[in-house]
Structure 1
Amino acid sequence: MMTKLKVMIPLSTRAGVIKFAPVIQLMQQAPQDFEPVIVVASQQYQQLHTVLADFALTADFELAVNPAELRGRPDELSRLVHHLQTVVNAAQPALILTLGDSLATLAASLVGFYNRLPVAHVEAGLRTFDKAEPFPDEMHRQLTDTLADLYLAPTAAAKENLLFEHRAEAQIVVTGNPIVDVVKQCYQADYTSPLLTQLPPQRRLLLLTIGRVENTGLPLEGILRTMRDVVETNPDVELLCPMALDSRGFPLAQRLLANRARIHLVPLLALRDFINTAARSYLIVTDSAGTVEEASVFHRPVLLLRQNTERPEALFAQTTRVVGTDPTSLQQAVFELLHDKRAYRAMQNEDEALFGDGHAAERILAALQQHYG
């Protein structure tokens, strides 16, 4: 007989909530086997609540971190460890399920280690092998995998990284990435929106998303000016740029993009709207690794505004091209894909299973039961 597993799940980013949602929902559908304990620990407190509500989920424990009170990442890490320890004391979980590379993921892994609780890591094995890029994410995930006991790798390449680091193969399960589960659930063949409705059939939509801390200031200005120039010199192109209104980059984006013909600077889109709009875009320009995964499901070319990526599968499949933030490189890449049909078609890889087949959540739960049930 299987033991009912009480699983502590720390959430600290919008992307983390989205990826964990199908996992938590499946747990809730099997109350005889799983009891998820949802812990919100984030500076993005209100934003996380909004995303949780989109999936009809609520937190069991909450920590609202006021950024104004923090004295850097070490201070935030210590507060997270303290808070998560109080949750462990109160909830008495059987294991901790972490995801990705956030500071809360590292904190939860440390708490699990100190309490001799097993730690399972979703997205285990993602690597750039450069601890300075992306910073501090790369070191967070390396340290998390050092502390973890079960590695839920999204791809075969991630598994190879773990084996290279001498992780036990018996503790590695290739599950796919649950973001693919979410994309397949949210995609609507008959979807429409005011923007898409008013878009003339001959117009091509470019989707621009920028959210990483390093892409602020001068790098952000270069990106925005370049994309603005692309629109101004290509009359069949429209640009959609969703951005958080309270982000550091929004005032600059407003100054450079607002009230421009065929440019739409809008607040962050709801998840379903974003996925369905991205599926209907011609090209995606982003600094988000998660968007790279999402775009692979509907075969949209991606230009990645970073120096490297922990998702090499997209590079090998040629669905993503790393262009960095240099304006000249970005402009050349966009112009090529707008005007060279052969180059564009070469980036439309038809392999839907690049990052998973939509059943990652099922495999994650099966792995937890097999190892700890």
Structure 2
Amino acid sequence: MKKIPLFFILFFATFQWFSAQAKYETFQSQKLGEERQIKILLPRNYESNTDKTYPLLIVLDGDYLFEVVSGNVDFLSYWEEMPEAIVVGINQYDKRYDDCMYSAQNGLPIESGAHFFEFVGGELIPYLERNFRIGNFKIAVGHGDTANFINYFMLKPDPIFRGYVAMSPEFAPQMIDYLPQRLGSMEQKIFYCLSDTALDTGSIKNMVSALNTDIKSKENDNVQYQFNSFETPSHYAMPAQAIPRALEFMFKVFQPISKQEYQDTILKLEGSPVAYLNEKYQAILESYGIEKPILVNDFKAIAAAIEKNKLFQDYEELGKMAIKMYPDTLLGLYYMGRFYEESGEPKKAMRTFESAYALDEIGGITKDMAMDRADAIKADFGY
């Protein structure tokens, strides 16, 4: 019997979980003059975290893209590769052509396309913000015609969405002129992920290639841009690869410090690794509006860099941060003890390590480790 790859086992296990938890609602739209079916997936711990807000992903073509996006969001957030998020899919079925209608003269939404644009921005998102705990960071996801449509939101002076996942877009001809100009002048931080596949039609590949070239020529620190061109998946299968790639890119700074980040960046810093840690979490707040507690493993990575590069003076600031973040644990006092130990204050170091013994262990930093340090100081100095 053919063995199923672990990836597919994990994917379908996740799929079964969120299928059971997804909410299906009928939304009566005045803008569209009809009902529209939407799918909503809330984070696993949504009900228990009553003071927490979440990023929002609006998924066009929700009838087939919602499950792919939701599965990846659930999986990646479980492993802290991205924050927990609310995912909302808009079913379009046979309305897709009407929803995406644009003018042949200027490529902008007209008639039913303009109504759908107003429905998403003027009805659906305000409704979601009233009824769910949604933060400031919002992402739009589209494929083919809808990958063209999501860009209209970016053309507004103050875009609703901060992230865009445009997969194999069927661009309005004028869009490849609009987008580079808009991205080049963007004054707020935007994440833009563009992708295609070698099996797309010639028109898609040509327009995506031209757009990619133009976007790359625009230098704007506010724009975080990613382009992926896949070789083997079909136009319809490609989202299964493009979506996790895009989410990982958009939330890269949110992710825990990796071995590669530690080796390639932190160990080679000219400045303080503690300053790097502060900047990383400040970037998370500024980019996503999320005040994320500093992970214990991130503290340990910075401590390892301090030891490796003998930057022992940085232990003082790291210890203060750890005491504030994890006051009931010995993490902060252990770092403060190392600071005093390396700063020529052995008695103060010994007492700090002994004080740590009364607190909780955390992240592999144990009471025995603290007492071993204290005992070694006693032995060396005869206290």
Structure-2-length-normalised TM-score: 0.33
Structure with greater helix percent: 2
Q: Using CA pairs under 8 Å that are at least 6 residues apart, name the structure with larger relative contact order, 1 or 2.
A: 1
Structure-1-length-normalised TM-score: 0.34
Which structure has the larger Rg? 2
